């Protein structure tokens, strides 16, 4: 039987999946970009009116720690942006300038909407629902990341299932890491901006394609390492000291 604080989180996650997967057949009748924008606007309205506004949730954008503390927590993200995202941006801008618009729209929607729901509303709703212990907060992190990963199942219509399952896996790992960044820094900007840059660079370098790459042993190991780093940032001793500050 579900505990009381788990029920609203599961409800929100299931709703995200139902809308995301349920609207996918519309892509057969609409241009891809138009479908993507309309679906995203609908999702934003549903979650804003149904959860954000109705429950009076307040999202955190102002960091609660010093800049150097934020950097010490986000060092892996900074390295990734410098050595992976930046080269991809150079490749994309030099070879596929015609794909800038599609990449920009897709990345803006993903960066803002996905973080708004999965790291913003999910975490704030979890705390408002009564999560006060390490176990309860980690349960919220797990559910947020799980539904973030499962929401990518709809991509199975545009790519092989093996690619989609790998995307679900690494989206889950990234979700845990991003939850850790939000909780440790206190700001959604530390995940919104990087998420936008990551998607923009990858889509642009792929000439506008949003299809994910296939699974590789190296990729599986790298994302597992990122998952472990996220869990380390959320280690019990550190997290318990942050819970009251995050809720204040």
Measured CA to CA, the distance from residue 87 to residue 201 in angstroms comes to 8
In tens, the pLDDT along 82-118 reads 999 999 999 999 999 999 999 999 999 999 999 999 9
Helix axes 217-233, 161-185, angle to 10 degrees: 20
In tens, the pLDDT along 134-158 reads 888 899 999 999 999 999 998 887 7
Mean pLDDT throughout 17-25? 90
pLDDT value of residue 7: 79
Task: Note every long-range contact of 15-20, with CB atoms under 8 Å and residues 24 or more positions apart, other chains counting.
Answer: 15/46, 15/47, 15/50, 16/43, 16/47, 16/117, 16/118, 16/147, 16/151, 17/147, 17/150, 17/151, 17/153, 19/43, 19/46, 20/151, 20/154
Asked if residues 57 and 51 have their Cβ atoms less than 8 Å apart, the reply is yes
Mean pLDDT throughout 57-84? 92
Tell me which of 136 and 70 has the higher pLDDT: 70
Confidence of residue 248 (pLDDT cuts 50, 70, 90): low
pLDDT value of residue 1: 43
Mean pLDDT throughout 164-179? 97
pLDDT value of residue 5: 61
In tens, the pLDDT along 221-246 reads 999 999 999 999 999 988 888 776 65
Measured CA to CA, the distance from residue 202 to residue 107 in angstroms comes to 9
pTM comes to 0.93
Asked if residues 204 and 88 have their Cβ atoms less than 8 Å apart, the reply is yes
Measured CA to CA, the distance from residue 133 to residue 147 in angstroms comes to 21
2 has a pLDDT exceeding 60:
no
């Amino acid at each position: 039987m579900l505990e009381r604080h788990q029920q609203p989180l599961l409800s929100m996650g299931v709703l995200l999946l139902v809308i995301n997967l349920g609207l996918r057949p519309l892509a057969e009748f609409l241009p891809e970009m138009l479908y993507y924008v309309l679906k995203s606007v609908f999702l934003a309205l549903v979650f804003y009116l149904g959860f954000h506004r109705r429950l009076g949730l307040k999202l955190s954008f102002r960091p609660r720690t010093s800049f150097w503390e934020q950097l010490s927590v986000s060092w892996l993200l900074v390295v990734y942006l410098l050595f992976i995202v930046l080269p991809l941006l150079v490749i994309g801008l030099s070879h596929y300038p015609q794909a800038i618009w599609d990449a920009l729209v897709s990345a803006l929607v993903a960066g803002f909407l996905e973080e708004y729901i999965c790291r913003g509303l999910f975490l704030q709703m979890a705390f408002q629902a009564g999560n006060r212990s390490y176990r309860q907060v980690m349960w919220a992190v797990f559910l947020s990341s799980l539904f973030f990963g499962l929401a990518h199942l709809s991509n199975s219509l545009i790519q092989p299932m093996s690619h989609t399952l790998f995307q679900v896996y690494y989206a889950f790992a990234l979700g845990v890491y991003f939850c850790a960044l939000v909780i440790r820094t206190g700001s959604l900007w530390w995940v919104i901006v990087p998420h936008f840059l990551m998607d923009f660079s990858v889509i642009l370098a792929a000439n506008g394609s949003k299809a994910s790459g296939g699974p590789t042993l190296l990729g599986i190991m790298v994302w597992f390492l990122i998952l472990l780093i996220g869990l380390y940032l959320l280690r019990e001793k550190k997290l318990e000291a942050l819970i009251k500050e995050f809720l204040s």
